[in-house]
Amino acid sequence: MLAPMTAFAQDQPHFSLYMHQPSIINPAAMGSFDQINGAFFFNKQLAGFTNSPMVGFLDFGLPIGKSNAYVGFQASQDRIGVTTKTMFGGSFAYRIRLNMKHYLSLGLNLSANLVNSNLATVPTQDPNDPVFAQNTAAAWYPDIRLGAYYFADNVYAGFSIGNIFTNSLIYPTGGGGGSSDIRVNGNDMHFYLTGGWQKKFGPHWKIRPSALIKLVPGSPMQIDINANAVFRDAFGFGLSYRTTSTLVANVSYTLNNYLIFGYAFNIGLAYRDHANFTGHEAMLAFRIKNPKRIVPVEVPRF
């Protein structure tokens, strides 16, 4: 009955196509766009398991007039097991021109999160357990994400911090809404470090390697290493390796420099039953160009 056990977990969704819309993990990345932009992501992880994580995520951003300021909006719904988390947030970024070829953007995202758990569907040994007798329990809590994003011709690097507020949700017995014990705890913050560059080959090909590092104190560091190729700025394909022993293949197509369609398939390599550890991600993004706002650098857009 007494045995030591170590387990690691995270409450943030994995995204495999974040390179197309980096502002989903770093609000400062809005400053690298000079047009109205947005993207919708649908992500299904661990598809072989019942009630495995499923996420829908919407990101939208636009510049404010001819200034260096940007505003954005985000909404998501993340479901795992009997729990659903709904998020609504607003972002602000400001771009600083270091010189004609180098820029730095700083960003802030404020969000409100609603966590709703259908506790009555949890299997229990005692059907009269008062903790699980209620049908639903819900609680609101806020969160903040901060970021910095540097970009120049054919290269970028970013750093962001999320989950700044620690939220211990408390569900009372006998039904009713829950409450949040909100505080700032550095051990629960999520740190993201991104970087990538672009190399042109001939008149039609571009190679775009990149990496994403995720850090949470007390958990193993996670690294995504990506290599993508693009033909005629339209057809894209690539491979990624995630240090959770996950291999990701992705494809994309850009229509008339306006719509971007993307799909990624991931599979767990370190498990006997690979089918249970597969995942799917689909993305639809758009760009509305503004000829009056042009940055004289080309940021890798995948």
Contact between 196 and 210 under an 8 Å Cβ cutoff? The reply is yes
The pLDDT tens digits for 183-223 are: 777 778 899 999 999 999 888 999 999 999 999 888 889 99
Distant-in-sequence, close-in-space partners of 141: CB < 8 Å, separation ≥ 6: 112, 113, 115, 165, 167, 169, 180, 182
* CA–CA distance, 231 with 291 (Å, rounded to integer): 24
The first and second tokens of residue 26, run together, are 């770093």
Residues contacting 125, CB < 8 A, separation 6+? none
For 54-65, what is the mean pLDDT? Answer: 94
CB 116 within 8 A of CB 86: yes
Q: Indicate whether 1 pLDDT > 60.
A: no
Three-class SS of residue 216? coil
Write down the residue that tokens 């719904």 correspond to. Answer: 77
Q: Can you tell me whether residue 18 is helix, strand or coil?
A: helix
3-state secondary structure of 19: helix
Indicate whether 173 pLDDT > 80: no
Alpha-carbon distances, residue 282 vs 53, 136, 174 (angstroms) = 15, 30, 40
> Taking 60 as the threshold, does the pLDDT of residue 148 lie above it?
yes
What distance in Å separates the CA atoms of residue 35 and residue 31, rounded to the nearest whole number? 10
pLDDT score of 93 more than 60 = yes
- At 274, phi and psi to the nearest 5? -60, -30
**CA end-to-end distance (rounded Å), the chain:** 52
Query: pLDDT (tens digit, 9 = 90+) per residue, 268-287?
Result: 888 777 778 899 999 999 99
How many residues are there in the chain?
Answer: 302
CATH 2.40.160.60 fits 18-124+133-288, yes or no: yes
149-171: pLDDT as tens digits: 999 989 999 999 988 877 766 65
Residue 105 has pLDDT above 70, yes or no: yes
pLDDT confidence of 49, banded at 50, 70, 90?
A: confident
